[in-house]
Amino acid sequence: GHSERRIYFNEDDKLLNKKTLLALKSRLTVIFCCGEGLLEREQNIYFQVVNNQLEIGLFSLPEEDFIKIVIAYEPVWAIGTGLTATPEQAQEMHYFIRNLIKVRYGKVVADQTTILYGGSCKPSNAAEIFAMPDVDGGLIGGASLKKEDFCAIVNAI
């Protein structure tokens, strides 16, 4: 469900659900990406967008499969655009996602689910983002290609 797969290959949540089931059957670790675009953010429907992505893409899984999933929140509007989500915006969405999991699977599963942040994390914002209580780490893109930047992000954890 990475944003580029959703955009360039028109992968929708129903297809992502099928791919997730197949990956789990093959004993692969699934990192399921979700997130909203700039227009959805501006229209203030970003919670609805992410809720729909998770509901259709993941929440049909039984608990024994869901606990194997890693979720990555990627605000698409903050990837490669020069815009950056604030730590508070990242926390707000991570909290929202964790609460959706809690409602569906219970508090124990919600607390144990890894939720990564994947929206232009870089050395200058990593420590603040990773300090948020519901952000469990990062899905690092472009910054992983620069050794110094990547090492600085790792050290921020």
Q: Which helix (H) or strand (E) holds 116?
A: strand 115-117
What's the sign of the alpha-carbon dihedral 37, 45, 47, 20?
Answer: negative
- Catalytic residue, candidates 4, 74, 94, 128: 74
- Catalytic residue, candidates 2, 36, 40, 94: 2
Q: Tens of pLDDT along 4-30?
A: 888 788 899 999 999 999 999 999 999
Three-state secondary-structure class, residue 69: strand
pTM score: 0.91
Asked whether the beta carbons of 110 and 102 are under 8 A apart, the reply is yes
| Residue 94 falls in the annotated catalytic set | no
Q: How far apart are CA 77 and CA 130, in angstroms?
A: 19
Q: Tens of pLDDT along 132-157?
A: 999 999 988 888 888 898 998 898 88
Residue 137 Rama label (left phi>0; alpha psi -120 to 50; beta):
left
